[in-house]
């Protein structure tokens, strides 16, 4: 197989290329399906909105989509979305005024109080939809080719089941299967809101003061976590990767200090100057390391520098 990094030899080829999977399949003589990106826009509400939904609020699904839902996130926000719109461009992850307006209207019907809440972020993603209802999974024993494509919505939840199914199919097709001898994939650090975060862990801070140095005040991310992410087996390549691993800069407030610290993302390892004593939020100044902040309502709105 010719790749951008040179020729690659393999015993089996698995096509799991998402939005590009039909093109790869076409190169291999397939052509039984075409990916039509189905854009989904989503709105993330501030953590102050979190008490509103007590569970995921989901309308009755249609044949085309499960519909717009209101869901609490593991990070303590509230998510509204997604929309479902077929687009031609496989890179078009822009949000639109119409999409966001439709979301707010749908959200208002599900949970009217949501309309008064502050929005932290809006984003869009593309589902790898095809003209078929089901996933496009097939094993070609003769050519030793596996197609795992058209994994549209539900793909994340179904991923472990899909993997088990494909492994089973490969076994039936004659691939000798054995338990891996090396350790499994590296464990990612816990970054949800429900457990104890490093800034709340006095023992951890005592052992390593970097876990007490909060550098992203909205999301309570510490210098120790950023350092660890950059030194991890799967280090982030860019700011988005760092955000996914640590939550850094995922909050609503982009202060001048946040912008200055963006430069970390391009560094191979942390060599920044220690953060200056924070002036906001108030709980962060002059309090013993490891002290939990007061509830969000007490410290998050409005920051004094926002005018």
Ligand X SMILES: Cc1cc2nc3c(=O)[nH]c(=O)nc-3n(C[C@H](O)[C@H](O)[C@H](O)COP(=O)(O)OP(=O)(O)OC[C@H]3O[C@@H](n4cnc5c(N)ncnc54)[C@H](O)[C@@H]3O)c2cc1C
User: Residue numbers of the site for ligand X (CB under 6 A)?
Assistant: 16-20, 24, 40, 82, 125-128, 151-157
Shorter beta-carbon distance to ligand X: residue 152 or 223: 152
User: What tokens were used for 50?
Assistant: 């979190």
- N- to C-terminal Cα separation, the chain: 58
Query: Rounded to the nearest whole angstrom, what is the least distance from the CB of residue 73 to ligand X in the complex?
Result: 12
Query: Rounded to the nearest whole angstrom, what is the least distance from the CB of residue 21 to ligand X in the complex?
Result: 7
Shorter beta-carbon distance to ligand X: residue 154 or 266: 154
Shorter beta-carbon distance to ligand X: residue 127 or 247: 127
Query: Rounded to the nearest whole angstrom, what is the least distance from the CB of residue 275 to ligand X in the complex?
Result: 34
Query: Rounded to the nearest whole angstrom, what is the least distance from the CB of residue 57 to ligand X in the complex?
Result: 14
Query: Rounded to the nearest whole angstrom, what is the least distance from the CB of residue 156 to ligand X in the complex?
Result: 3
Shorter beta-carbon distance to ligand X: residue 68 or 242: 68
Query: Rounded to the nearest whole angstrom, what is the least distance from the CB of residue 248 to ligand X in the complex?
Result: 22
Shorter beta-carbon distance to ligand X: residue 99 or 251: 99
Shorter beta-carbon distance to ligand X: residue 153 or 291: 153
């Amino acid at each position: 197989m010719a790749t951008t990094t040179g020729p690659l030899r393999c015993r089996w080829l698995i096509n799991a290329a998402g939005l590009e999977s039909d093109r790869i399949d076409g190169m291999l003589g397939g052509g039984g399906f075409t990916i039509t990106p189905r854009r989904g826009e989503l709105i993330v509400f501030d953590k102050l909105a979190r008490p509103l939904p007590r569970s995921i609020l989901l309308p009755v699904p249609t044949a085309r989509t499960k519909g717009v839902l209101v869901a609490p996130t593991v990070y303590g926000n509230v998510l509204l979305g997604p929309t479902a719109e077929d687009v031609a461009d496989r890179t078009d992850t822009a949000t639109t005024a119409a999409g966001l307006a439709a979301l707010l209207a749908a959200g208002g019907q599900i949970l009217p109080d949501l309309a008064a809440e502050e929005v932290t972020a809006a984003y869009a993603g593309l589902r790898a939809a095809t003209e078929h209802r089901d996933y496009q999974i097939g094993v070609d024993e003769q050519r030793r080719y596996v197609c795992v494509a058209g994994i549209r919505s539900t793909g994340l939840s179904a991923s472990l089941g899909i993997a088990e199914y494909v492994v089973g199919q490969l076994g039936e097709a004659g691939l000798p299967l054995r338990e891996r001898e090396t350790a499994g994939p590296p464990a990612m650090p816990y970054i949800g809101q429900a457990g104890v975060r490093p800034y709340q862990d006095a023992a951890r801070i005592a052992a390593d003061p970097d876990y007490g140095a909060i550098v992203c005040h909205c999301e309570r991310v510490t210098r120790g976590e950023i350092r660890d992410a950059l030194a991890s087996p799967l280090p982030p390549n860019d700011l988005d990767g760092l955000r996914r691993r640590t939550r850094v800069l995922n909050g609503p407030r982009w202060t001048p200090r946040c912008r200055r610290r963006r430069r970390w993302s391009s560094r191979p390892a942390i060599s920044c100057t220690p953060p200056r004593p924070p002036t906001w939020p108030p709980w962060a100044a002059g309090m013993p390391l490891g002290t939990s902040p007061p509830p969000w309502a007490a410290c998050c709105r409005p920051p004094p520098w926002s005018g």
